[in-house]
Chain A
Amino acid sequence: DAGITQSPRHKVTETGTPVTLRCHQTENHRYMYWYRQDPGHGLRLIHYSYGVKDTDKGEVSDGYSVSRSKTEDFLLTLESATSSQTSVYFCASQTDSGNTIYFGEGSWLTVV
């Protein structure tokens, strides 16, 4: 398996506070992704990155921003957390050939 880790793994935060989730990969993959997974919706793409400082929006990007200052790190920020952002967040990285995507173990976020 690819070396991809997420932190924190679990977090409870209050509505209106900013939250940053970190994804770190050691495979030098150019492509990285942030998904959220909710019952009835499956995995939905929030933001993705094609390389350092090269990011774009996915289908559910409102309320989220990302940054990628190094190949290995992809940060997801909830600018002002809302209860609708309670979810499990998965980071992923993809081989340059596009054949395989590897996931981190997930970050469980609860906004109260």
Chain B
Amino acid sequence: RKEVEQDPGPFNVPEGATVAFNCTYSNSASQSFFWYRQDCRKEPKLLMSVYSSGNEDGRFTAQLNRASQYISLLIRDSKLSDSATYLCVVNRAAGNKLTFGGGTRVLVKP
């Protein structure tokens, strides 16, 4: 089983709609969680950190469920520019390394 797993998608989303997807992690000692965004042929860039209480940044909301060991990302009022691959990132307890999920591809269409 992979340490961090994501549905690869693609999630085809009408412009203006809401889309949500999850990421599961296997190490219960994981301490920090992030969502990164990656555009085609570009480097990943930090979208947002995920806090225990959940957090929101504009149209984006991230949640952490430690009991079920998953994090989620919700995008409201989707824009064409939201089309990208969203990477779930988990900081393992040992060392300071980050482990990446395979990414969820989102395609927002007019």
The answer to whether B43 touches A103, judged by C-beta atoms less than 8 angstroms apart, is yes
Residue count of chain A within 8 Å CB distance of chain B: 24
State whether the Cβ of A45 lies closer than 8 Å to any Cβ in chain B. Answer: yes
The answer to whether B87 touches A43, judged by C-beta atoms less than 8 angstroms apart, is yes
The A interface, classified by DSSP as helix, strand, loop or mixed, is strand
Q: How far is the CB of A102 from chain B (nearest CB, A)?
A: 8
Q: How far is the CB of A57 from chain B (nearest CB, A)?
A: 11
A-B pair number, CB within 8 angstroms: 44
State whether the Cβ of B18 lies closer than 8 Å to any Cβ in chain A. Answer: no
Q: Which of A20-70 contact B (CB under 8 A)?
A: 31, 33, 35, 40-43, 45, 48, 50, 58
- Nearest B residue to A56 via CB reads B95
State whether the Cβ of B102 lies closer than 8 Å to any Cβ in chain A. Answer: yes
Q: Which of B64-103 contact A (CB under 8 A)?
A: 87, 89, 91, 96-103
* Chain B residues packing against A (C-beta within 8 Å): 32, 34, 41-46, 49, 87, 89, 91, 96-103
Other A-B pairs, 17, CB within 8 Å; known A88-B41, A98-B96: A1-B45, A42-B87, A42-B102, A42-B103, A43-B100, A50-B96, A90-B43, A90-B44, A94-B96, A94-B98, A98-B91, A100-B34, A101-B89, A101-B98, A102-B46, A105-B42, A106-B43
* Chain A residues packing against B (C-beta within 8 Å): 1, 31, 33, 35, 40-43, 45, 48, 50, 58, 88, 90, 94, 98-106
